[in-house]
């Protein structure tokens, strides 16, 4: 099994705009959407070691 490169913040950045739009539609507030996106990105970053690559990073 090949080892993968460590996840960097720039790996998550392509998903920020889409996720922000989704959160805005769900929450109805730009600032709440940004807070939710920040929390989601932080959780993704913290759990990156457990990502096995069997699915898209987008999921």
Q: What does the pLDDT look like over 17-48, one tens digit per residue?
A: 999 999 999 999 999 999 999 999 888 888 77
Query: Up-side HSE of residue 23: CA atoms within 13 Å toward CB?
Result: 19
- Residue ranges per domain, the chain? 10-46
Asked whether the predicted pLDDT for residue 59 surpasses 60, the reply is yes
| Cα 41 from chain centre | 4
Asked whether the predicted pLDDT for residue 2 surpasses 60, the reply is no
Report which of residues 12 and 57 the model is more confident about: 12
């Amino acid at each position: 099994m090949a080892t993968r490169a460590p996840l960097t913040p720039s790996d998550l950045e392509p998903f920020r705009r889409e996720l922000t739009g989704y959160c805005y539609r769900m929450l109805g507030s730009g600032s709440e959407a940004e807070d939710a996106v920040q929390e989601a990105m932080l959780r993704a970053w913290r759990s990156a070691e457990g990502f096995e690559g069997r699915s898209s990073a987008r999921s």
